[in-house]
Amino acid sequence: MLCGMSPQKTLTLAFSLGCFGMVATALLLGGLMAMGSSDVDVELEPPEDPSFGPDDRLVEGPGSPDWAGGSPTQGTTPIVAEEVGASDDSSRDLRISLRALGLDRALLVFMVREGRTIYGLRASGEEAFALWTALRANTQSTGYYPVILGDGSALEAHRVAADPARGSHGSASPARILEEASSADADAWLEAQTRRAGEEFSELPRWPEGEAPIGGVRVAPYAIPMDALSGEPLAHVAVALVPTQHSWEVPAWLAFGGWNDCPNAWVHVALFRRWYAQYGAEVVGISTDAVEMRVLRPPSEMDAAFRLAREHCAYASDFGQRPCESRDGLARELRGVPYWHFWWD
């Protein structure tokens, strides 16, 4: 799969290359047959591997090219992780809390960060959001915040991202990322990005006076538990239990971001905290290249929605993935809508 390409783009390119190869081969064989008994010897060279072109190796996300686009077989990768034993004292309270919720399933160790364990549970795509909802409602009692990660390959990519030797954030610990988010000027970062994205944003047309704004096709509420190509629920989904009660701290624990156009982890932390205070936005899922959030207090007025739309475009500025055809349409997609979806190439 091409680094940074979505599954749809990758599949289209592969199909096009395949068709080109078949046509070229047919023409060549036809020419040889027309030569009849010619003594000309033709040596066919093996085709070049089209997987990567000279300009495809941009700044890859943590792990492998699969980080930034998924795979046509996404969801077929099982969740591989060590199960917590019944005699493990460090997880005893968590296991008791999960059983009290009726979640009598294997507790897994997804990764360890700075001596703290990020636990997890196996789920199917069909039940992932219901499981997240139950866990989120009990974050205060369990002490862990749930986040949907995707299938087994996504879990492994998150492990790579959090590995000081392999991840894009190097040796940055969760505490260091949180400290950077607290001390950095998030407003200044957002303003700079808004000015950069604002040039494109301002070029989007306004709808004529008196006509209702029409948005594009809205992304499904939570797509991370779904297969990117078929739209069907994934067979295997990892739901992580992060040792924090605050949604905005999750990117620090996962060391998410810092590749291509995806902001560094501290930016996610700072903006998530800002949006939680303003709109009650909280993380539902973080996959390899997307973030999905539940919004408890979405903007109800168009002016407020329009201002938020500018912030969203500064945060994730790929207009090709935005559900809008106009400035009003983009704001309309945020007005009163209780979920947000962000994606980076």
The per-residue pLDDT for range 258-280, each reduced to its tens digit, is 999 899 999 999 999 999 999 99
Query: Residue 189: its pLDDT value, please?
Result: 92
Q: Mean pLDDT across the stretch 312-336?
A: 69
At 9-40, the pLDDT tens digits run 443 444 344 443 443 444 333 443 444 433 43
Query: Residue 2: its pLDDT value, please?
Result: 37
Furthest C-alpha separation in the chain: 84
Q: Which amino acid is at 307?
A: R
Q: Mean pLDDT across the stretch 172-194?
A: 91
**d(C-alpha 255, C-alpha 332), whole Å:** 32
- The DSSP code for 119 is E
Contacts of 126 (CB under 8 A, 6+ apart): 225, 233
Extended beta strands in 87-155, E state: 108-113, 116-123, 145-150
Q: Mean pLDDT across the stretch 55-70?
A: 32
Q: Mean pLDDT across the stretch 215-228?
A: 70
Contacts of 164 (CB under 8 A, 6+ apart): 170, 171, 172
Could you tell me what percent of the chain has a pLDDT over 70? Answer: 66
Task: Of 48-62, 238-252, 310-324, give the range with the top mean pLDDT.
Answer: 238-252
Query: Residue 237: its pLDDT value, please?
Result: 97
**d(C-alpha 345, C-alpha 111), whole Å:** 26
Query: Residue 217: its pLDDT value, please?
Result: 37
Query: Residue 73: its pLDDT value, please?
Result: 39
In sequence order, the β-bridge partners of residue 295 are 281
Q: Mean pLDDT across the stretch 108-137?
A: 96
Neighbours of 68 (CB within 10 A): 26
Query: Residue 199: its pLDDT value, please?
Result: 55
Does the structure show a pLDDT above 60 at 182? yes
Q: Which amino acid is at 49?
A: D
Extended beta strands in 14-164, E state: 82-83, 108-113, 116-123, 145-150
**Higher model confidence: residue 122 or residue 16?**
122
Least reliable range by pLDDT among 108-112, 190-194, 293-297: 190-194
- Of 148, 120, 123, the residue nearest 282 (C-alpha): 148
pLDDT band for 175, please (50, 70, 90 cuts): very high
Strands 116-123 and 281-286: unpaired
3-state secondary structure of 286: strand
- The DSSP code for 233 is B
For the chain, the 3-state helix, strand and coil shares in percent, each to the nearest 5, are: 40, 15, 45
Contacts of 166 (CB under 8 A, 6+ apart): 62, 63, 160
Q: Mean pLDDT across the stretch 144-160?
A: 96
Extended beta strands in the chain, E state: 82-83, 108-113, 116-123, 145-150, 237-242, 281-286, 290-295, 339-343
